[in-house]
Structure 1
């Protein structure tokens, strides 16, 4: 390591990534392991970030591509293409499955690790030097070489909203105390520029900054403020990058109780329990993080909630928290109870985990999915668990031996799984990205070796737009 360090990053397990111009290593210091240097990184590394739920590392450097390295297999995974000059900065979304980059070629780009190409690409008259996601993953902020900030609203994991939202009329809320600068505002700033010339009157003439380029950029944990410092290091500026007025948070998860009398709804970190007879909210439950998955236990007495990477079990009648534990390394996407009361959870980290639905004690971990798992289904007899998501396969797990018993191929981006109540038939629905059409597959376990065979594969046409 003959050159200086250029970037460092921690993941949620306190592993440390560090890189220099020509080297990079992974250090699991908490486990007492020595740093591991790996090959395959780009030349002249400028930036590094964890992505894919801590399973991958993204590198940006002089070779124009963003390299993604598999930390488990110690080998290159993919290269995100599109830039034509060096990449100055890379950043991963909070869920770990989108990577953004700022480049000397005057463009900022966004990729989905499960997609084939960039899902957002925008250019300017000057290079982009820094890029950062807002903590909720719904917006991306980039710093340009002319001292301007630019922001994009983002849609679902593999899409970006058409057009670009640029900061306008932004307010500078504060500055570095070391400079003695006063709080000021940008009146009618068209793109939220952090131009030091706007504040020259608050500085002694000899100290007035002349280099407007932004050297570094950071977003506050609540997503409202961006802090930027210039190359001359004279000023640090805080800019409000949150929308003045935003829509009410949408419901991210809903589920009915087994008796059909109660509906659970998750809005942000709050869970509301509705009595469907009176159509009134009968209980409110407050979690510490946004809730993305809900499911009632078979007896309706407990409610499982996935909040960020944690699983929580709540008593429905009293609203008491029964159990709370960290179940995954990244955001939980789906939870499901088996007929016998086992609790399954799946996450963006690609793992499916099985828990005691009363105590929260871990029963088994199923690994085999490479991309986020978004849907789960138990067989009626509770002997099988089906899982699928952003990948191109459905996996079946035995709850007797806790092993994978089958992998079903033929659909990508699976959004629905359901076992028939009386026969061992599994219905699978998904959307093929290539043609955007919905598809249905029916599989049946039959034959002397109980192998799964496709029964029918009708194509589901999207209804015509009205």
Structure 2
């Protein structure tokens, strides 16, 4: 690949430096974020880093860590990638169980292969003659012609005994291929099978690992095979020929081990700790630590010299031996929280506030398409949540162990209050009136705080059906509009309770067969809306009884119109979205979903109440997931956008209805221009 430049599969203007506008779907004007990272690979000459994401395949120039191209955007959902040693081809797999071989210089796909799973290991042979693909159903390895995908030889494995990762490695002369299978005598252990590539015969079965095998690699001289364990911090060196263990390296903790030989034959390993998400590069022979960094999966270690890893949720970093300072680029956060509040516009319409699945909240400046943290770095935790007041003001809570910090979101974020209770905090809720904050702690303890003074107002306990102090208990807290009532429940137990906040007393325990999930209070506070499998339930708070039960399958998304006249209900009901008229206590309309869609994943009314936006969940057969916009009064579908490759987790209107934002499980936010439709 020397002196050759990567071309864009989707043509880009030579001056098109605005990455947020590359390869946009029809109707979109910008893409914020670059998609969740699923895999990385260095080009053979080390000049480029290819990044597999859920929106496509990104190419980065390693020297600058700047993106130079975006491929595979017709379907996206790229799961893994591998280069041929001569750099001529790159193999790209996706979540639809399809593997494509691309001609790197022409930027075109030359072969397409149907796989048995969305994650299947594959690797090119050192002589560029074969593309080897694993088969998780049979344990076989298939050798294919890269330019056609045709199977030339099948190496027979052990059916139902293939490994969890099933790594594959060729010897430098392409004469041998190694992969893994389950040990016959120990179901928790894996063995290594070695085949002769020319005749397909098995030449060795190596046992010695006590658990799963994570990675395999041959030495450049071909005399040694290194195998790294999963979660056991072990690397075993095998003699090629006698197939005896030469040495076993242990003592690297509960780590996934990726051994890699340098061109001069030095064996190094990238150890990723499962306990604290830290990657460490070791010189195994000298037991010397060469580099360490915080890391999120995935990690790529190439030729014992180059390391690529995800640093925290939003950066990609590349480290090279001999250079202590890594190179960094912004990539993406993971994905978004499945709530209506996880994506919202500021009141002036200039900023999008986004809550991500693993606890970060970012503020996106729409004009320059840049993001910043919702709170200072030194105060940010990995557990942050958005709260919206009844006046539309935005707040963020940051949870760290037993402490909650409350921040107001604006042009300059400011700390409002700090609350410290006993035990880890599992969830928070801010009263719409902004004067009270509720926190759920391990063991079922609930605390009500005065926001202005920071004082503890009430403390009571939500009884749990199982005895646990697990801080990961999935709690949900919901205040009534005036802050006088609180609903608490855990998603792990059918255990819903209603509390009088002022007195700290339980008002009602809901039978598990009646309520599985409480979604929200009505804007007037008189009703609770919940779901129980095949029904939507409206519960009268004052009279403590069920007001109405509506047949509706698996309702899980609800949205009130600003005037409180209508409630939109979405789920998996074949009749689509239900609009409930609260004043008349009757169904107002049913909105049919686009063909191929069965599951509503997000709903949102515009601030004026005239329009309803919907985002779908991905279904088999959909290459892209629809976002629809309806006129509430007539039920007319105004426009349908097809942009995201998987579930649309949240949608939001700008205050002036000129923009619609959609956030997806693919890790991106798309901005849609509505001026032509409304």
What's the TM-score once normalised by structure 1's chain length?
0.41
Q: Pick 1 or 2: higher relative contact order, CA cutoff 8 A, min separation 6.
A: 2
What's the TM-score once normalised by structure 2's chain length?
0.30
- Point out the structure with max Rg over C-alpha: 2
